[in-house]
Amino acid sequence: MRVPMKVDYGVRALVELALHYGEGPVQTAEIAYRQGIPEAYLDQLMTTLSKFGFVHSRRGPQGGHRLASDPVDIDLGMVMKTLDGSSSPLDCLTNPLDCVFSDSCAQQEVWKAVEEAIQNVLSDISLADLARRQRLLAPEAVL
C-alpha cells in the first residue's frame, strides 16, 4: 500500500492540530512550518478538511484552524477514506462488476483480507494516539 502525499500531509496537519487541541486556533503558516508542508498546498488541504468536518477554520489575524472534534474521536481510517477515497489495493474490490474475473479470482480474496487488515489498523489509531507518540518522539518540536 502506498500512502498518497495528500493523506500524509493531511494526517501531519491534523496531528499538529491535535497537539494544540483546546489551546485555540493554529495558523496555516505555523502548521506548514512545523510539518514541512508547502503553505499553498496546506491551504487547499485545510479547505477540504474543513468541508468534511475535521477542522473549523477562521480567517483573519486571530484566525486559524482547530480540530472540530476531540482527537480521540478521529481515526486514521476516517482521514484516509476522506482524503483518498479508499484504501483498497485493487480497483476490482471497490468495483467488482468492472472485472470479468471477479467471480472466479483466487487472489481477490487475499487482497480483500489485506484491505480489511489495513482498515482495522487505521481505525484503531486516533489522532490522540499519534499526538501522544509525537510528544514522545520529538518533545522539543512540540511547542
Nearest to 129 by CA among 13, 9, 19: 19
pLDDT of residue 62: 81
pLDDT tens digits, residue range 50-81?
Answer: 999 999 998 888 889 999 999 999 999 999 99
- When comparing pLDDT for 96 and 54, which is higher? 54
Mean pLDDT of the chain: 89
Write out the DSSP string of the chain.
----HHHHHHHHHHHHHHHTTTS--B-HHHHHHHHT--HHHHHHHHHHHHHTTSEEEE-STT-EEEESS-GGG-BHHHHHHHHHS---SSHHHH-GGG-TTGGG-HHHHHHHHHHHHHHHHHHT-BHHHHHHHHHHH-GGG--
d(CA 107, CA 129): 34
pLDDT of residue 126: 98
Inform me whether the pLDDT recorded for 142 exceeds 70.
Answer: no
Inform me whether the pLDDT recorded for 143 exceeds 80.
Answer: no
Cell numbers found for residue 69: 472534534
pLDDT tens digits, residue range 117-134?
Answer: 999 999 999 999 999 999
Inform me whether the pLDDT recorded for 86 exceeds 80.
Answer: no
Please report the domains of the chain, with CATH numbers, ordered by start residue: 5-141 (1.10.10.10)
